[in-house]
Amino acid sequence: MTQPPPRLLDDPSTDETMRGALEAGRAELPSEAQLDALAARLGPLLGPGGGGGPPADPSPALGGGGSAAAKAIAGLGLAAAGVAAVLFVATPDDPRPPRPPPVEAPVIEAPVVEPPVPLGVDVPEDVVEDPPAEPTPVPSRPRQYETDPAAELALIRRSQDALRSDPGAALALTREHERRFGPGTLAQEREVVAIDALHRLGRDPEARTRAAAFRRQWPRSAHLRRLEVLLEP
Amino acid sequence: MEASTQTSSPPFAVIFREHAPLVWRALRRLGVREADVEDLSQEVFVIVHRKLPTFEGRSALSTWIYGICVRVASDHRKRAHVRREQPTERVPDERHSAPQLNDLAREQARALLDRALETLDDDKRAVFVLYEIEELDMPQIVEALGCPLQTAYSRLYAARKLVQAEMTRLVGDVQ
């Protein structure tokens, strides 16, 4: 049987350069903010009812303040039915009553003033995104938005998937979400994607304005830490 | 329901709390860029959650999770669009205070390590990282990677030589 060699850091003959490098490699651990952001993305798996086990320890690292919407979008590996169940849970940040189940009647949409940006098309860099006063502006007259949670989740997932490879397309998808679902259950996630996309497009002033509006609307959101990390100078 | 777990496994929230920092660090040393590590950590834990009901406990839970890390990182690096991180070596500035100097020195040392690790293929890199950074024992590494013990040893010795040679070369270039 081969005896295991001493690890390099336990071996006195290891040179100082190697020793310093290995020690530095071992020392790199995520910050609390990074762990919080990760926990927020895993919300439905960590929280009550999400993991099938007992409730998560209310440690800050577990992002206990995560909203049901955050939980819904974070669990991308979950079956749609399971996710849909989470979508209808009211959240402390969201004063709106729980949304009704999807209706069978055809959706009636109010006229759209601005045509949506075609999907997959980059927004020109010089076009300044007009940040709304609030992330989910209230229309001047009642409007009926779509209420299909699976469709809403699928759209947000597409926008998240597009973020890294094509932030312009991701931004366009968030506009589509806003047009179709308005203040939907995943409005927070839509705003996070939009802010991230603006940042990736180098449009930080707009990203910051939109992040400030996000904070006003959802001051206890689990996504705030992620936004802070994203936009820190 | 998929989320149910074996009674021998701790709750998922506990698993996350205990392993998230290690998963993060392992992914970084396995070549995942800082900008991608949150995404990949999420992917690891989604897999852990999904497969936890089938975890048989033949190895330590951490060993099993490290195995998932290795596969996720390897798949990630194989994707054509993933750029490999190019660590930069920064020379400490005299204007920095002592704590900043320490931070810079650590960052520089880490950049040196990552650059040397880039010379390894995925198999050697996994053994080196799990043994020297994550401090797994060889039988654990064999469990995590699913390779014969002698193969793991061979990869470790080869990886050490390559990493040492690259570090020597890089330090020589700087001096």
For the stretch B51-89, pLDDT in tens is: 998 888 888 899 999 999 999 999 998 874 555 544 444
> How remote is the C-alpha of A113 from its chain's centroid?
27
Q: Please return the burial class of B24, using the count of CB atoms within 10 Å of its CB with bins 0-12, 13-18 and 19+.
A: buried
Nearest to A26 among B46, B133, B150 (CB): B133
Secondary structure class of B3 (helix, strand, coil): coil
- Confidence label for B113 from pLDDT (cuts 50, 70 and 90): very high
Residue A135: is its pLDDT beyond 80? no
- Distance, in angstroms, between A53 CA and closest chain B CA? 5
pLDDT at B136: 93
Q: Please return the burial class of B44, using the count of CB atoms within 10 Å of its CB with bins 0-12, 13-18 and 19+.
A: buried
**What is the distance between the alpha carbons of residues B102 and B92, in angstroms, rounded to a whole number?**
9
Q: Do A131 and A206 touch, CB atoms closer than 8 A?
A: yes
Residue A50: is its pLDDT beyond 80? no
Measured CA to CA in angstroms, residue B93 lies from A16, A32, B70, B109 at distances of 22, 28, 36, 15
**Dihedral in degrees, nearest 10, Cα atoms A74, A45, B81, B34:** 90
Averaged pLDDT for residues A209-217: 85
Residue A5 structure tokens: 């060699």
**CB distance from A37 to chain B under 8 Å?**
yes
**What is the distance between the alpha carbons of residues B128 and B131, in angstroms, rounded to a whole number?**
5
Residue A133 structure tokens: 């006063």
Domains of chain B plus CATH, in order, are 12-82+98-169 (1.10.10.10)
**What is the distance between the alpha carbons of residues B38 and A230, in angstroms, rounded to a whole number?**
12
**What is the distance between the alpha carbons of residues A160 and A194, in angstroms, rounded to a whole number?**
9
ipTM for this prediction: 0.85
List the 71-130 stretch of B: residues with Cβ below 8 A of A.
81, 105-107, 109-110, 112-114, 116
Secondary structure class of A182 (helix, strand, coil): coil
Nearest to A7 by CA among A29, A25, A22: A22
**What is the distance between the alpha carbons of residues A197 and A191, in angstroms, rounded to a whole number?**
10
In A24-112, at which residue ranges do the beta strands (DSSP E only) sit? none
Residue type, A103: V
Secondary structure class of B36 (helix, strand, coil): helix
Q: Do A232 and A211 touch, CB atoms closer than 8 A?
A: no
pLDDT at B175: 58
- Confidence label for B101 from pLDDT (cuts 50, 70 and 90): low
Backbone angles phi and psi of B142, in degrees to 5? -60, -40
Which chain B residue lies closest to A48 (C-alpha atoms)? B13
**Set of chain A residues whose Cβ sits within 8 Å of the Cβ of B109:** 20-21, 23-24
